[in-house]
Amino acid sequence: MSKASTTRIKVGIGGWTYEPWRDNFYPKGLAHAKELNYASRHVSAIEINGTYYSTFKPDNFRKWRDDTPEGFVFSMKASRFATNRKLLATAGESIRRFIDSGVTELGPKLGPIVWQFMPTKQFDAEDFEAFLELLPKKEGSTPLRHVMDVRHESFIVPAYKALAKKHKVSTVFTDADKFPSFEEPEGEFAYARLMMADAKQKTGYAAKALDDWAERAQGWAGTTAKPREVFVYFINGAKERAPAAAAELLKRLGWEAPAPAEEPAAAPKAPKTPKPPAAAKKAAGTAAKKAKTGTASKKA
């Protein structure tokens, strides 16, 4: 696979804070504050899940941006308050609050924004189009890309595909049995969430399955003449195996991991003052004693 197409395929995991990873992914004793720094040099992308539940501040996004290497990408789930509602057309305020939280502070490391819907949310063409019209295509000078994670079978119809194409949004592809999915990723970029990892497999998926996913990802990336960005995340399932699965897929794609982060250089120690020889030390002591008793020499 050419390097050009390799750079178009990002492979990663969901989040970077997960207790079991401290036994089989992170080095023993690694400080929790350094987990993102470490993870971002072993996978090429991370999907942030916390933004679905909580509102973060611009400082958070800037810190994540600065803690990761060049070329790294963050996808993130948008606020659930925008998607978990009866009428999606009323989500404008929640969408704006999420965008204004500082997501563009990630700069070039900002990947697709995932709008995840409840499994019970059914497709209503009029209401869903009203929602799509609320999604900004740009914030300042930063373009925004959106991907729909629709989880009800009523979305797997031509009418939905036509709306997604019209508004230039992508649709999540998943291998999960419990969620419906189109047979291939839909949209201007491909976004796959793989959720069928097996805890019995050290790499989450069997070698043959990983070979197949590598081949499919390359196909999704298209050609030099017609390229497409691809995002593949190992999510859920046997989550403890996700980093190993991502690493194996990246290996098959010929990914070159960035160099480990350099530790800040330690400040040089001040040179020690050499101790005086024993004889000099004794003489100095004798002189001090004479000065105290008035017997020291009066010579200049």
* Average model confidence (pLDDT) across the chain: 89
Report pLDDT digits (tens) over 54-71.
999 999 999 999 999 999
- Confidence band, pLDDT 50/70/90 cuts, at residue 237: confident
pLDDT over 70 (residue 81): yes
| The pLDDT of residue 284 is above 80 | no
Q: pLDDT tens across 143-168, in order?
A: 999 999 999 999 999 999 999 999 99
The DSSP string of 187-233 is SSSEEEEE----TTSTTSS-HHHHHHHHHHHHHHHB-SSSB--EEEE
Question: Which pLDDT value is given to residue 290?
Answer: 46
Could you tell me which residue, 108 or 285, shows the higher pLDDT?
108
pTM for this model (two decimals)? 0.85
Does residue 43 carry a pLDDT above 70? yes
Residue-level pLDDT at 263 = 55
With a cut of 90, say whether residue 185 has pLDDT above it: yes
Report the alpha-carbon distance of residue 132 to residue 181 in Å, rounded: 19
Give pLDDT tens digits for 19-36.
999 989 999 999 999 999
Q: Please state the rounded mean pLDDT for residues 252-281.
A: 65
pLDDT in tens, 200-230: 999 999 999 999 999 999 999 998 888 999 9
Mean pLDDT of 103-126: 98
Question: Which pLDDT score, from 0 to 100, does residue 224 have?
Answer: 83
| Whether the predicted pLDDT of 293 surpasses 60 | no
Residues 6+ apart with CB under 8 A from 190: 170, 173, 184, 217, 220, 221, 228, 229, 230, 231
Q: How far is CA 238 from CA 105, 194, 200, in A?
A: 32, 11, 9
pLDDT band at 295 (very low <50, low <70, confident <90, very high): very low
